[in-house]
Amino acid sequence: MSTYGNDWIITFSNSEDMDVFFWRFFGTEEDVKEKLVTLAKEHSTDTESDLLQCPDSAGDVEENTETCALFCTVGYEDYDYVFTAMDFRAMNHI
């Protein structure tokens, strides 16, 4: 990976509906992990009393080893927000 970063595709989905939002991001793996955490924290202030799970730092971002996607979840009692990021170069299987 370049020290300058790579192209990433970031997605945001919500278990309550079928909408998926996409963004393009340029940066290193650490940069994109921080971005995922920032996005997650922005979506964790709606109803704090129902909040069950939210990442605190880039170390909380997990990796799906099958797809090479990075992800984190904001979990509430009745629904979840999921944020994923994939290096564009890893999308050759689509």
Residue 90 carries which DSSP code?
Answer: G
Predicted pLDDT of residue 50: 82
pLDDT in tens, 6-51: 999 999 999 888 899 999 999 999 999 999 999 999 988 756 678 8
Average pLDDT of the residues in 83-87: 96
51 burial level (CB within 10 Å; 0-12, 13-18, 19+) = middle
Share of the chain above pLDDT 90, in %: 62
Residue 1 pLDDT > 60: no
Predicted pLDDT of residue 11: 96
**Positions of E strands within 1-94:** 6-14, 20-27, 51-53, 62-64, 69-76, 80-87
86 burial level (CB within 10 Å; 0-12, 13-18, 19+) = buried
Q: 42: which residues sit within 8 A by CB, 6+ positions away?
A: none
